């Protein structure tokens, strides 16, 4: 049984503060190196100083951004660096879950910082929330085409999350099934979320509003992952399900919606689609582990938990 402890909202940043850039998962392919430089420049335009390790581009192990212990050490170093006020990830891919055994939850909890990422970084977000009791943020990875070419709203949401307040506002989504729900929002990339089952950072979804998104997964794979979560007992007590952007997941236009409603037929609560966070063209930065309310297709954030 997981320990119960108050969640920590990390301190917000001030103008000119330093953000640390880490690569917990995949390495940056040579053809994408320009995205790192452009992403860092976009952060500087927001008014942040940058700190990163030379290994971001120099080191590679298999398809990873270095060996597991090396990536973990760099992440822990950013938590311990007093000048680094927030931590942003370069990209997802695969590999974040491999570094978790080398992280120290006590150190992270005693040095809470805003950590932002998505895709494979989902497992780190869950780890921070479930094991460290630190509220993480689902948002863009900085060395990606999505972040470099993203619109002003994506940049505004990231800066606001880092400097002013947790995302507090209303987002209107497509309604796949009507209903009302409230609870802490929890989730991330669906295919990464499923890999957390049975691990020490297995997410507790009881009483939660589940948020999931993914990319380039055909409807039958979405069905399989939802069924896996349901069979594992994870969806029995969620209060509602919100799907984010799902690019490349609905080649047969409309089939995905039907599959979702069918797979979740016996799950209570509303089902929404199209929340603007995830792999799509707009990836708004939102906190996980904070209260939200769902009413008539509108998701309202109420601040920190």
- Read off the CATH number of the domain in which 196 is found: 3.50.30.60
Rounded to the nearest integer, the mean pLDDT of the chain is 94
Q: Are the C-beta atoms of residues 22 and 90 closer than 8 Å to each other?
A: yes
**pLDDT above 70 for 277:** yes
In a domain, 197, yes or no: yes
205 & 280 share domain: yes
Name, in order, each residue with C-beta under 8 angstroms of 215's C-beta and a sequence gap of 6 or more: 119, 246, 247, 248, 249, 278, 279, 280
69 & 142 share domain: yes
CA distance 298 to 305: 19
Q: What is the pLDDT of residue 6?
A: 84
Determine which one of 70, 184, 213, 217 is catalytic.
213
Q: What is the CATH number of the domain that holds 91?
A: 3.40.50.10740
* Domain residue limits at 181: 170-301
**pLDDT above 80 for 37:** yes
In a domain, 122, yes or no: yes
Q: Within 152-254, where are the H helices?
A: 152-163, 190-195, 219-231
In a domain, 7, yes or no: no
How far, in Å, are 99, 187, 227 from residue 262 at the CA level? Answer: 36, 20, 10
228 & 95 share domain: no
Domain count along the chain: 2
Q: What is the pLDDT of residue 50?
A: 98
146 & 191 share domain: no
In a domain, 92, yes or no: yes
In a domain, 6, yes or no: no
131 & 239 share domain: no
199 & 94 share domain: no
- Annotated active-site residue 295? The verdict is no
Mean pLDDT of all residues in 50-75: 94
What is the band of 253 on the pLDDT scale with cuts at 50, 70, 90?
Answer: confident
Tokens representing residue 85 in the block: 């006020």
- Annotated active-site residue 191? The verdict is no
- H/E segment holding residue 161: helix 152-163
Determine which one of 119, 191, 192, 277 is catalytic.
119
Model confidence over 118-130: pLDDT tens digits? 999 999 999 999 9
For a pLDDT cut of 90, what percent of the chain falls above it?
87
- Annotated active-site residue 228? The verdict is no
Cα Dmax for the chain: 50
- Where a domain ends, among 109, 129, 163? 163
In a domain, 130, yes or no: yes
Model confidence over 256-272: pLDDT tens digits? 999 999 999 999 999 99
Q: Are the C-beta atoms of residues 116 and 90 closer than 8 Å to each other?
A: no
22 & 148 share domain: yes
Cross-strand bridge partners of residue 94: none
Model confidence over 190-231: pLDDT tens digits? 999 999 999 988 999 999 999 999 999 999 999 999 999 999
Length, in residues, of the chain: 305
In a domain, 12, yes or no: no
246 & 203 share domain: yes
Helix, strand or coil for residue 7? coil
Classify residue 195 as exposed, middle or buried by CB count within 10 Å of its CB (0-12, 13-18, 19+): middle
Q: What is the pLDDT of residue 166?
A: 60
pTM above 0.85, yes or no: yes
- Where a domain ends, among 140, 163, 186? 163
Name, in order, each residue with C-beta under 8 angstroms of 250's C-beta and a sequence gap of 6 or more: 219, 256, 257
In a domain, 125, yes or no: yes
129 & 236 share domain: no
CA distance 39 to 28: 13
230 & 251 share domain: yes
CA distance 196 to 123: 7
140 & 264 share domain: no
CA distance 81 to 6: 24
> What angle (nearest 5°) sits at the alpha carbon of residue 205, between those of residues 201 and 211?
100
- Where a domain ends, among 146, 163, 180? 163
**pLDDT above 90 for 281:** no
183 & 148 share domain: no
């Amino acid at each position: 049984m997981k320990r119960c402890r108050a969640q920590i909202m990390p301190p917000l940043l001030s103008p000119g503060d330093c953000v640390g850039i880490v690569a917990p998962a995949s390495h940056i392919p040579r053809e994408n190196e320009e995205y790192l430089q452009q992403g860092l420049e976009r952060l500087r335009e927001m008014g942040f100083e940058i700190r990163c390790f030379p290994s971001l581009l120099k080191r590679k192990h298999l398809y990873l951004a270095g060996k597991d212990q090396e990536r973990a050490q760099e992440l822990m170093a950013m938590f311990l660096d007093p000048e680094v006020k927030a931590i942003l990830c370069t990209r997802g891919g695969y590999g974040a879950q491999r570094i978790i055994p080398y992280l120290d939850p006590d150190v992270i909890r005693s040095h809470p910082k805003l950590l932002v990422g998505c895709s494979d970084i989902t497992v780190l977000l869950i780890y921070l929330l479930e094991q460290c009791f630190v509220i993480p943020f689902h948002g863009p990875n900085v060395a990606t085409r999505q972040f470099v070419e993203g619109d002003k709203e994506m940049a505004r949401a990231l800066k606001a999350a880092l400097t002013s307040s947790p995302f507090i506002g209303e987002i209107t989504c497509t309604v796949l099934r009507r209903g009302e729900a409230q609870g802490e929002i929890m989730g991330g990339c669906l295919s990464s979320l499923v890999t957390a089952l049975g691990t020490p950072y297995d997410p507790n979804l009881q009483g939660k509003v589940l948020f999931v998104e993914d990319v380039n997964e055909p409807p039958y794979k979405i069905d399989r992952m939802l069924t896996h979560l349901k069979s594992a007992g994870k969806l029995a007590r969620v209060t509602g399900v919100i799907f984010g952007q799902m690019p490349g997941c609905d080649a047969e236009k409309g089939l995905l919606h039907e599959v979702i409603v069918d797979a979740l037929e016996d799950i209570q609560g509303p089902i929404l689609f199209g929340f603007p966070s995830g792999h799509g063209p707009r990836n708004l930065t939102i906190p996980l582990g904070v209260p939200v309310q769902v009413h008539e297709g509108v998701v309202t954030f109420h601040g920190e938990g």
